[in-house]
Amino acid sequence: MAIKTYPFDPSEALSSEEDIAEYLSQVLEEGDQDEILRALGYVAKARGMTQIAEATGLGRESLYKALRPGAKPSFATISKVLAALGVRITVAMSHASAQPVNKAVAKVRKAKRVGGSRKVA
């Protein structure tokens, strides 16, 4: 007797906010653009593609096209999708301590207090 198999659909396993956050974090950490788009598509499907399309102002088919591997959606489109999904991307240093970032922020703040802008001759 042959074993019947079915394709795995990750959207069916994304049932909680924690699952979605962990899944997207893992995929984003790996950094593969096609996998990121695929993951956003799975999350959108888990949340309801029609609702996400309406929230982004995109047509449902346009949303499917934007989130398929190989697509080149604009940053504005990705931002709308992230907002509609209720998630956000945060930035962290990948290999250095936070100290250089804090120094850079302090330097920018000091420059704003001192003069605000530089004149170029």
Structural domains for the chain: 10-93 (1.10.260.40)
pLDDT at 99: 58
Radius of gyration in angstroms for the set of CA atoms belonging to the chain, rounded to a whole number = 20
pLDDT averaged over every residue in the chain: 87
pTM (whole model) above 0.85 = no
Mean pLDDT of 79-98: 84
Q: Which residues contact 65 (CB under 8 A, 6 or more apart)?
A: 71
pLDDT at 117: 53
How far the first Cα of the chain sits from its last, in Å, is 82
Mean pLDDT of 80-103: 79
pLDDT reading at 85 higher than 80: yes
What is the band of 66 on the pLDDT scale with cuts at 50, 70, 90?
A: very high
pLDDT reading at 98 higher than 60: no
